[in-house]
Amino acid sequence: MKKILIYDNTQPPPSDVCNLLGIERFSDVYYRKRSLDRWISDLAGQAGLTFVDLESLMHADSLAKPPLSGPGRQTIIYIPAWIAFGCAEKEAALFLQKLSLTRNNLRVANDTNQFDPYAPHMMVLVDDLAQSFLRAVASGESAESFFREAGEQLQPVPDHASMIDLRDPLRFTDYLTSNFDARFFNSVQTVNEFVLLKRSTDAAKLKREHDFYRLLPASMQMFFVQPYDFTREAQGASYKMERLFVPDMALQWIHGSLNRVHLERFLDKVLFFVRSRPARPVPRDIAERTRDEAYRSKLLVRLEQLEALPAYASIEPYARATFGGVRSLLDRYLKLLDKSQPAEIEKSLCIGHGDLCFSNILYSKTTGLMRFIDARGAETEDELYVNPYYDIAKLSHSVVGNYDFINYGLFRLDIGSDLKVRLHIDAKPQPWATEMFRQKLTESGFDPELTRLYEASLFISMAPLHIDVPKKVIAFLVNAADILNELERNF
């Protein structure tokens, strides 16, 4: 028996949804580091279904080719691309598997009384009706037109997959803002539509995150989402925060949704935060120690962590062939760091977010709303103060360094005839974005070359944190080597 999931990506998103991320099709959306069509394809695989894109069936001889050709019974599950699932992935796969076992023609809908072709739905077609659908599509008829005629023939069944209508801008944004990337001991879950709950087994760390906001001056609190209701639990701690229906900048950046005007407005606002940070003059030895901890000591510790991991043995040969090994990469970086001179601004410390990358910045390009999440935390007011370049380096590794593309897996690694690994970024930003960022940095009193040097240290130091995906670690290290190649020509 042939069991097929047909994915209909032919209907374009509404204009307001297109504008949010600059997409042309729903399948162009990346959610939790997979495109939406990849999500459905993976679900089909887990449910024992063959994934087929509807567009591949829209020609006369499609029925004569696999997987549709040949005798035997046939079950088709039809899913339009504007449907997403609000339940867990395993639950969605199980639901699809159950649907594939039916002997009846079904429609999955929230309203099981009367068929509404414009409401969220999935269709299950068996044998004769499945063949009628395939013939209609092959002849040029749209799926939407077919189901307007045949929808009432389908037996209604309740929705156990929590279908989400991505054509609705609010639901689309809601879906994107549930893009919580749990790392290590952290998890984020929804309490209701408007409140999030963050949990951690590391109660002390979570308390620092919670107290960070309380310690901030009032003038800085406007930039941050406020945590509240810190609670110690048996297995750690939790706090709550407002859920904003605003996508983070990483999602917008990898989708290419920002034009020159959008990016300039964003940079102006985030650099307004940077310039607004209260500064504190400190003795020279404290300033030097803070700089050393940010860009040298932490890096040495992280490199030792990387070398101690079992997966390191498979990574080092690529590093050795490409840039002489990880230790060689470190030596090159430290040589440039020793050669560099601290900027005048580094004689003081300033209040900083501590991890100001795009994934921690919620931003609406239509309203200008900007809020930061996941600050590094603090127990005392003194701990709010960091090296002034650290937040800038984090911004740079998103704007210039393509961090978010690598983090989302939007890259490839090629091995040349010299056995060196070369990094290629999928649809990376236009050169004007880098030029604009460098110009804005200069206007704000920051040295773009020094920023780039500090940025290189970030790519090296984050390697052990992403060891669960060794390919990504190699990409980070190759990227750092490319940055050093650039700097060694300029320093």
Phi, psi of 350 (to 5 degrees): -135, 160
Q: What is the pLDDT of residue 464?
A: 95
Strand partners, 414: 422
3-state secondary structure of 179: coil
Instruction: Give the type of residue at 135.
Output: R
β-strand 50-53 against 2-8: which pairing, if any? parallel
Q: What is the pLDDT of residue 112?
A: 63
- Total-model pTM: 0.89
Determine what percent of the chain falls in helix, strand and coil, rounding each to the nearest 5: 50, 20, 30
CA–CA dist 9, 12 (Å, integer): 8
3-state secondary structure of 255: coil
- The residue with tokens 């879906």 is 175
Name the CA dihedral angle for 213, 214, 220, 221, rounded to a multiple of 10 degrees.
Answer: 70
Strand partners, 263: none
Contact between 390 and 354 under an 8 Å Cβ cutoff? The reply is: yes
Residues 6+ apart with CB under 8 A from 171: 164, 165
Phi, psi of 179 (to 5 degrees): -80, 65
Strand partners, 52: 6
3-state secondary structure of 174: helix
CA–CA dist 131, 63 (Å, integer): 9
3-state secondary structure of 9: coil
3-state secondary structure of 31: strand
Task: Tell me the DSSP string of 111-126.
Answer: --SS--TTS-EEEEEE
β-strand 163-165 against 121-126: which pairing, if any? unpaired
Contact between 265 and 365 under an 8 Å Cβ cutoff? The reply is: yes
Q: What is the pLDDT of residue 186?
A: 62
Q: What is the pLDDT of residue 185?
A: 46
**Tokens (6 digits) for 352:** 């900083």
Host H or E run for residue 158: none
CB atoms within 10 A of CB 473: 26
3-state secondary structure of 5: strand
Contact between 482 and 423 under an 8 Å Cβ cutoff? The reply is: yes
Q: What is the pLDDT of residue 180?
A: 52
Q: What is the pLDDT of residue 298?
A: 94
CA–CA dist 439, 446 (Å, integer): 10
pLDDT tens string, the chain, 491 residues long: the values are 789 999 999 999 999 888 888 889 999 999 888 999 999 999 999 999 999 999 988 887 776 677 776 666 889 999 999 999 989 899 999 999 999 999 999 999 887 667 787 888 999 999 999 999 999 999 989 999 999 888 778 889 999 999 999 999 888 988 887 755 544 446 788 888 889 999 999 999 999 999 999 999 999 999 999 999 999 998 899 999 999 988 999 999 999 999 999 999 999 999 999 999 999 999 999 999 999 999 999 999 999 999 999 999 999 999 999 999 999 999 999 999 999 999 999 999 999 999 999 999 999 998 999 999 999 999 999 999 999 999 999 999 999 999 999 999 999 999 999 999 999 999 888 899 999 999 999 999 999 999 999 999 999 999 999 999 999 999 999 999 999 999 998 77
Where does residue 128 fall: left (phi above 0), alpha (psi -120 to 50 degrees), or beta otherwise? Answer: alpha
Q: What is the pLDDT of residue 346?
A: 95
3-state secondary structure of 357: coil
CA–CA dist 421, 318 (Å, integer): 7
Host H or E run for residue 40: helix 36-47
